[in-house]
Amino acid sequence: MKQTITVIRGDGIGPSIVDATLKILDKVNAGLEYRFVDAGLVAMERHGELLPATTVDAIAQHGVTLKGPLTTPVGEGFTSINVALRKKFSLYANLRPVKSFAGTQARYEDIDILTVRENTEGMYSGLGQELSDDGETAKATSIITRTGARNILEFAFETARREGRKKVTAVHKANILKSTSGLFLKTAREIAKAYPDIEFNEMIVDNTCMQLVMNPHQFDVIVTTNLFGDIISDLCAGLVGGLGMAPGANIGKDCAIFEAVHGSAPDIAGQNIANPTSVILAAIQMLNYLNKPEQAARILHALTDVIASGDRVTRDLGGNGSTTDFTQAVLERL
Ligand code: NAI
Ligand code: MG
């Protein structure tokens, strides 16, 4: 029986790179059916709201969603739909893996780092946002709960174990942020004891940034709070050739949303030149989540081969292939 997943094609370059990915999923007989719903600017135009109820219902009903990037209109009153979705479905774990691909002009080879970012708490809790009447003082509340910390840390260690990874680094700033980062670090030390098979170390976030640039091969899994994870995962994307190469999975207890780390790229939308790699890599994460590792591996193999050979790759990878050409090159190898 085919499994239905929700598909949000998204704004800007979204539809072109999501459609490319669906062709690839169909080619490997992934056994999926698609329920298309709208969010973002497209939904605003068609339904008068950025996140229609039918979209929310579809995400809840089918459990697994593949999502293109969404444009957040600039201006008062618009909050990011991505942040809204992560909160609404308690997608507490954001998995952002980066891997080196031969054939890119990245600074390093053999990078394989998984950032596990807490996705609902910390500085992005959205709570206590205040600006004083005289406009002189701004406040925001950072919240770390023991349960939230435990959930993300267990998730990181379990993922490390399942993927055969050797080391988990908890990234923090507990020397200054005694309460919030302090609770996160204390919980990390406790949870680590239950995983004697995995090496555990802790590192202060500013040093981590320097270490990632100077000596990235020391890292395997990084687990950290929301704000640090946001910044560190972009740094990691920079180690392997940029945003076009970075997927992200947002995972909760009942629901998961797979997407690219990048946005809708309005500067290149409609030109058929976007690199579909990050959404294809997100689909590979999704297939593994759906327990279809064989199809996931086949796609990764074909994609790796296309990028290594430079055959019809897109501009950001140093070629002059279009999105369609690149996709065709992957399909031919499959
Ligand atoms: P962006 O990530 O869309 O683009 C940054 C730069 O990277 C641009 O020069 C773009 O052309 C390039 N780029 C991005 N993806 C690419 C790809 N697949 N192939 C080749 N080049 C690529 O960031 P920007 O311009 O700051 O944001 C545009 C819109 O996207 C905003 O409305 C923002 O809110 C939204 N956004 C949505 C996200 C999501 O839905 N998860 C994440 C980040 C931003
Ligand atoms: Mg970010």
pLDDT in tens, 99-110: 999 998 888 999
User: Is the CB of residue 14 below 6 angstroms from any atom belonging to ligand 1?
Assistant: no
Check residue 171 and give its pLDDT.
98
3-state SS assignment for residue 200 = strand
Check residue 78 and give its pLDDT.
65
User: Is the CB of residue 250 below 6 angstroms from any atom belonging to ligand 1?
Assistant: no
Residues 173 and 186 in one domain: yes
Residues 205 and 266 in one domain: no
Residues 272 and 296 in one domain: yes
CB 100 within 8 A of CB 75: no
- Give the global pTM: 0.94
Query: Domains in the chain: how many in total?
Result: 2
CA-based diameter of the chain, in Å? 63
Check residue 135 and give its pLDDT.
92
Please give all residues whose CB falls under 5 A of ion ligand 2, grouped by chain where several chains appear.
Answer: 230
Residues 2 and 86 in one domain: yes
Distance 249 CA to ligand 2 centre (A): 13
**What confidence tens digit (pLDDT) does each residue in 263-322 have?**
999 999 999 999 999 999 999 999 999 999 999 999 999 999 999 999 999 999 999 999
Check residue 124 and give its pLDDT.
85
Residues 103 and 137 in one domain: no
CB 121 within 8 A of CB 83: no
Residues 91 and 132 in one domain: no
User: Is the CB of residue 264 below 6 angstroms from any atom belonging to ligand 1?
Assistant: yes
CB 104 within 8 A of CB 317: yes
Residues 129 and 104 in one domain: no
Check residue 79 and give its pLDDT.
73
Residues 90 and 128 in one domain: no
Check residue 243 and give its pLDDT.
86
Q: φ and ψ at 35, to 5 degrees?
A: -110, 105
Last residue of a domain, one of 194, 210, 239: 239
Residues 101 and 157 in one domain: no
User: Is the CB of residue 71 below 6 angstroms from any atom belonging to ligand 1?
Assistant: yes
Residues 80 and 16 in one domain: yes
Residues 104 and 251 in one domain: yes
| pLDDT < 50 regions, the chain | none
What is the spatial distance between Cα 243 and Cα 239, in angstroms, rounded to a whole number? Answer: 10
Check residue 129 and give its pLDDT.
82
Last residue of a domain, one of 224, 239, 254: 239
Q: What is the mean pLDDT of the chain?
A: 95
Is residue 246 classed exposed, middle or buried when 0-12, 13-18 and 19+ CB atoms within 10 A define those classes? buried
Residues 262 and 321 in one domain: yes
Check residue 30 and give its pLDDT.
95
Could you tell me the CATH number of the domain that includes residue 221? 3.40.718.10
Q: Domain span at residue 79? A: 1-110+245-334
User: Is the CB of residue 323 below 6 angstroms from any atom belonging to ligand 1?
Assistant: no
The pick from 119, 262, 314 for probing ligand 1's pocket by mutation, whose C-beta has the most ligand atoms within 8 angstroms, reads 262
Residue nearest to ligand 1 atom 38, measured at CA: 263
What is the spatial distance between Cα 37 and Cα 61, in angstroms, rounded to a whole number? Answer: 12
Last residue of a domain, one of 179, 210, 239: 239
Closest CA to 203 of 180, 171, 232: 171
The pick from 243, 314, 323 for probing ligand 1's pocket by mutation, whose C-beta has the most ligand atoms within 8 angstroms, reads 243
